[in-house]
């Protein structure tokens, strides 16, 4: 009983220490943690990084924060520590190297390198990892002019998903954005309110990424800010694909490469006009999905070395309809994808319809939701008749079903 009381007292002491408010420095902002809060959401709210907020408040595990505790948010970057000291972390049941890396705001491969881990899938409960020190990126608060607000639809965002980004400026300026050096197409008719969509690759390394913005005033003055984006692991299964006999040659690298380059020349372009309105529709009636986007794939029984870049719908000769407004930019027979149609929806968003038995549209056709595109079939590299429905943003394949379950555009329109 005495030992139990001592242990209970120790646990209570730890919780009291964790809940105690920090001593904020002069000019700091304070925030009291609410039920349901996460450190990433609080960091996003005050435009600081997770690592900065954790280090400034002495938090060693960003997943362990408690309602009622008061956090100090540095009012300026001079209050930030010069460096976050190296620390250790003991692997817990259910941990993966990816989730641990994301918790500490770093990439999985870097954490593996720092700990001499050859296989990122092989870590053991109880294993002690060294979390290397990091150099925080100075971030000022409030946002520097002309930036008024930056809003992300999801943070963290899962592999293979679409991130909606909205930016408001307090004066007219030209805005550009890059996600890890990849340009993001933005819409902003009034010069103050901008928005765009970012595709997160299905095989992105779990961890912290940078979304950078640059505003250019009419006089040429430039101001840049960066927003942390946490990419989390997607929940994807694994499957083996056995092509129909006689079509194995379509897996030849030169065949795949030539076709991919042809399509990339189209979907890497971003037309400035958004053509879609609201949520997308399913491309076929009474849909039955046989293979979901993101599924990790083995072809012909070989190693798992790829992923499913779209969603497959069962059916032979079933009508295919446009799920949203757009313009046809490709309608022809391809080697791997069979009879194919590619639709440009604007702002770098494209949808593809592969393996059709017949297409009824041509390049240049402007489609509205529900317009007939063609019929499901058995052409190209397939295991049987079906529709492969694919979505690309800036060339990155993303989960098209998200565009059905969510309305991916600003609430107020453009």
Convert the pLDDT of each residue in 205-248 to its tens digit.
888 888 999 999 999 999 999 888 888 888 888 887 776 676 65
Instruction: Give the number of other Cβ atoms within 10 Å of residue 57's Cβ.
Output: 19
What's residue 119's pLDDT?
Answer: 80
Nearest to 176 by CA among 135, 222, 132: 222
- Find out whether the peptide bond into 50 is cis, omega within 30 degrees of 0: no
Does 149 or 104 have the greater pLDDT score? 149
In this predicted structure, the answer to whether residue 139 has a pLDDT above a threshold of 80 is no
What's residue 323's pLDDT?
Answer: 98
- Per the CB < 8 A criterion, the answer to whether 175 and 188 are in contact is yes
Q: Lowest-pLDDT range, 30-39, 214-223, 292-301, 381-390?
A: 30-39
Residue 135 banded pLDDT, cuts 50, 70, 90: very low
In the numeric block, the tokens 């509205």 are attached to 368
Q: Which fold has domain 2-131?
A: Membrane-bound Lytic Murein Transglycosylase D; Chain A (3.10.350)
Instruction: Give the number of other Cβ atoms within 10 Å of residue 214's Cβ.
Output: 15
Does 140 or 248 have the greater pLDDT score? 248
Percentage of residues in the chain having pLDDT higher than 70: 76
Supply 22's token pair: 């920090």
pTM over 0.75: no
What's residue 301's pLDDT?
Answer: 66
Enter the CATH code of domain 238-405.
2.70.70.10
What's residue 105's pLDDT?
Answer: 66
In this predicted structure, the answer to whether residue 406 has a pLDDT above a threshold of 80 is yes
Residue 78 banded pLDDT, cuts 50, 70, 90: very low
The CATH class, in words, for 147-232 is mainly beta
In this predicted structure, the answer to whether residue 18 has a pLDDT above a threshold of 50 is no
**Domain ranges, ordered by start, for the chain:** 2-131, 147-232, 238-405
């Amino acid at each position: 009983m005495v030992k139990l009381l001592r242990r209970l007292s120790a646990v209570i002491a730890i919780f009291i220490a964790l809940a105690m408010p920090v001593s904020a420095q002069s000019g700091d902002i304070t925030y009291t943690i609410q039920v349901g809060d996460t450190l990433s959401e609080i960091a996003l709210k005050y435009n600081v990084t997770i690592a900065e907020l954790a280090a400034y408040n002495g938090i060693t595990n960003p997943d362990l924060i408690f309602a009622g505790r008061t956090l100090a948010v540095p009012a300026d970057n001079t209050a930030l520590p010069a460096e976050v000291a190296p620390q250790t972390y003991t692997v817990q049941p259910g941990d993966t190297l990816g989730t641990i890396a994301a918790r500490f705001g770093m990439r999985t491969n870097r954490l593996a390198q720092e700990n001499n881990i050859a296989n990122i899938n092989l870590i053991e409960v109880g294993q002690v990892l060294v979390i290397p020190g990091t150099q925080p990126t100075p971030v000022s608060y409030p946002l520097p002019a002309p930036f008024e607000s930056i809003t992300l639809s999801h943070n963290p965002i899962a592999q293979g998903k679409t991130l909606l980004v909205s930016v408001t400026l307090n004066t007219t300026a030209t805005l550009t954005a890059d996600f890890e050096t990849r340009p993001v197409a933005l819409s902003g008719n009034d010069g103050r309110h901008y928005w765009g969509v970012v595709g997160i690759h299905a095989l992105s390394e779990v961890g912290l990424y940078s979304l950078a913005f640059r505003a250019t005033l009419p006089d040429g003055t430039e101001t840049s800010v960066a927003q942390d984006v946490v990419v989390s692991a997607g929940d994807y299964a694994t499957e083996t694909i056995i092509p129909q006999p006689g079509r194995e040659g379509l897996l030849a690298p030169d065949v795949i490469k030539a076709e991919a380059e042809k399509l990339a020349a189209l979907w890497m372009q971003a037309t400035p006009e958004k053509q879609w309105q609201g949520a997308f529709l399913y491309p076929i009636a009474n849909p039955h999905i046989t293979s979901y986007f993101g599924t990790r794939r083995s072809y012909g029984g070989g190693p798992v070395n790829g992923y499913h870049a779209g969603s497959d719908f069962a059916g032979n000769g079933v009508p295919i309809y446009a799920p949203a407004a757009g313009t046809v930019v490709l309608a022809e027979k391809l080697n791997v994808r069979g009879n194919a149609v590619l639709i440009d929806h604007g702002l770098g968003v494209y949808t593809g319809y592969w393996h059709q038995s017949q297409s009824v549209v041509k390049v240049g056709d402007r489609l509205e939701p529900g317009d007939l595109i063609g019929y499901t079939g058995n052409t190209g590299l397939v295991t049987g008749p079906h529709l492969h429905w694919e979505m690309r943003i800036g060339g990155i394949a993303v989960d098209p079903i998200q565009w059905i379950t969510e309305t991916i555009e600003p609430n107020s329109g453009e």
